[in-house]
């Protein structure tokens, strides 16, 4: 089906934003049904074809099974697409790394040059907010790289979380990063961070525990929904313009062994240096 071109009024910025919505996402937003944003860099850069395409379809299917509408976000030939058809998902999957990895920094370039771009966490957050989508689900978010205090290598995901009011549900920060410094940086950015479930340990993507304490934990989905609503609509705080990071630990039965993973990372870092 053809995408519908919508000119959506963004009252917070008092200007118009052109986005192309898939019919499914457009209908869900119009009828106020729950919509979940999904990134596309994990498709283009996360794994090879056809596993990336199969995974993208599987993730969208899981979202639908739980009563929400998936909105995979990407830029196709210089146009922002909110929701992709199966054929466009496959085109992006086949392109792989030839698609431009698109963060906030890259958006103007990719759009102006008519390129195809796969959105990162930061890029997806920004576009989801423009589209009026409040929840975004991904794998692991970026963070402060090891020795980041020397290299200043800090993911744009963290600054985006500090200025874009979207709730990001993830499996934590990627294990190869400096999780302790990442949590400190998120605090500096004013980002609400919580871990889902009966644990105070912040997850490390491959592992359910990183060894670093989470700022808070919420044990039910309802509590998480209350957090999102209060952050955006509270009359007391007049709405926070920062994002929320909800970390959901990988199930223990699927998690990597923490000590073994840490040793492998340390060895790899030594070899890379």
Nearest to 77 by CA among 64, 66, 90, 88: 88
What are the structure tokens assigned to 205, written together?
A: 């993507």
Query: Catalytic site residues?
Result: 39, 174
Can you tell me the distance from the alpha carbon of 74 to that of 101, in angstroms, rounded to the nearest whole number?
10
Rounded CA separation 105/50 (Å) = 29
| d(C-alpha 273, C-alpha 197), whole Å | 37
CA distance 82 to 169: 18
Q: Which helix (H) or strand (E) holds 238?
A: none
Phi first, then psi: give them for residue 74, nearest 5 degrees.
-160, 165
- β-sheet bridge partners, residue 247: 170, 195
Instruction: Identify the burial level of 91 via C-beta atoms within 10 angstroms of its C-beta, where 0-12 means exposed, 13-18 middle and 19 or more buried.
Output: middle
């Amino acid at each position: 089906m053809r995408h519908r071109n919508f000119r959506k009024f963004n009252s917070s910025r008092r200007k118009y934003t052109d986005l192309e919505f898939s019919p499914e996402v457009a209908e869900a937003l119009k009828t106020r049904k729950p919509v979940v944003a999904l990134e596309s860099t994990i498709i283009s850069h996360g794994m090879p074809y056809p596993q990336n395409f199969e995974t993208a379809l599987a993730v969208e299917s899981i979202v639908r099974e739980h009563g929400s509408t998936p909105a995979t976000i990407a830029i196709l030939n210089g146009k922002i697409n909110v929701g992709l058809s199966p054929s466009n998902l496959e085109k992006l999957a086949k392109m792989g790394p030839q698609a431009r990895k698109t963060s906030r920094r890259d958006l103007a370039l990719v759009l102006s040059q008519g390129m195809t771009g796969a959105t990162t966490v930061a890029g997806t957050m920004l576009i989801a907010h423009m589209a009026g989508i409040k929840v975004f689900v991904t794998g692991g978010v970026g963070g402060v790289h090891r020795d980041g205090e020397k290299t200043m290598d800090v993911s744009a995901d963290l600054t985006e979380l500090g200025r874009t009011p979207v709730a990001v549900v993830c499996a934590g920060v990627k294990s190869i990063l400096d999780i302790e410094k990442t949590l400190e940086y998120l605090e500096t950015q004013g980002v609400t961070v919580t871990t889902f479930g009966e644990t105070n340990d912040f997850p490390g993507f491959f592992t359910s525990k990183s060894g670093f304490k989470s700022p808070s934990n919420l044990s039910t989905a309802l509590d998480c929904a209350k957090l999102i609503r209060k952050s955006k609509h509270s009359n007391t705080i007049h709405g926070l313009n920062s994002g929320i990071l909800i970390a959901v630990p990988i199930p223990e039965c699927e998690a990597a062994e923490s000590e073994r993973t840490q040793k492998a990372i340390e060895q790899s870092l030594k070899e890379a240096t």
